[in-house]
Structure 1
Amino acid sequence: MSVVQHGNAFIRPVRLEDADAIWELECEIVREGEYFIAVSEEFDKTVEQQREWISRVLESDRETIFVAEIDGGVVGVIGFSSPNRKRLAHTGSIMMMISKEHRSKGLGRVLLQELLAWAEQHPLIEKVSLGVLSTNHRAIALYQKMGFIEEGRKVKEFKMSENEYVDDVLMYKFV
Structure 2
Amino acid sequence: MSESSRKVTCMIRDAQVEDAETILDLEKSVFSEREYFIALPEELEKTPIQKQRQWIRNILENEKETLIVAKEKGVVVGWIVFKSQEKKRLSHTGSITMLVSKNFRGMGIGEILLKALLSWAEKNPFVEKVSLGVFSNNHRAISLYKKMGFLEEGRKIKEFKLSEHEYIDDILMCKFV
State TM-score, norm by structure 2: 0.93
Equivalent residue, structure 2, for 1:41: 42
- Please give the alpha-carbon distance, in whole angstroms, between the structure 1 residues aligned to 2:46 and 2:115: 28
Instruction: Give the deviation of 1:45 after TM superposition.
Output: 4.0
Which residue of the other structure, out of 41, 57, 60, is the alignment partner of 2:59? 57
- Please give the alpha-carbon distance, in whole angstroms, between the structure 1 residues aligned to 2:18 and 2:77: 14
* Structure 2 residue 158 is matched with structure 1 residue 174: no
* Structure 2 residue 117 is matched with structure 1 residue 115: yes
Q: Is the 8 A contact 1:152 1:170 kept in 2?
A: yes
Equivalent residue, structure 1, for 2:90: 88
Letter matched to residue 26 of structure 1: E
Q: Is the 8 A contact 1:68 1:75 kept in 2?
A: yes
Equivalent positions of 1:153-164 (< 5 A) are 153-164=155-166
- Please give the alpha-carbon distance, in whole angstroms, between the structure 1 residues aligned to 2:51 and 2:133: 22
- Please give the alpha-carbon distance, in whole angstroms, between the structure 1 residues aligned to 2:126 and 2:44: 33
* Structure 2 residue 142 is matched with structure 1 residue 137: no
State TM-score, norm by structure 1: 0.94
The count of aligned residue pairs is: 170
Equivalent residue, structure 1, for 2:148: 146
1:61 alignment partner, SS class? coil
* Structure 2 residue 14 is matched with structure 1 residue 8: no
Percent same amino acid among aligned pairs? 56
Instruction: Give the deviation of 1:49 after TM superposition.
Output: 2.5
Instruction: Give the deviation of 1:8 after TM superposition.
Output: 2.3
5+ residue gaps, structure 2, are 1-6
Instruction: Give the deviation of 1:48 after TM superposition.
Output: 2.7
- Please give the alpha-carbon distance, in whole angstroms, between the structure 1 residues aligned to 2:43 and 2:122: 36
Cα-to-partner distance string for 1:81-106 (whole Å, 9 max, x where unaligned): 11112111110110000000100110
Instruction: Give the deviation of 1:50 after TM superposition.
Output: 1.8
2:121 alignment partner, SS class? helix
Equivalent residue, structure 1, for 2:4: none
Equivalent residue, structure 1, for 2:129: 127
- Please give the alpha-carbon distance, in whole angstroms, between the structure 1 residues aligned to 2:150 and 2:59: 24
Cα-to-partner distance string for 1:122-143 (whole Å, 9 max, x where unaligned): 1121100000111110000000
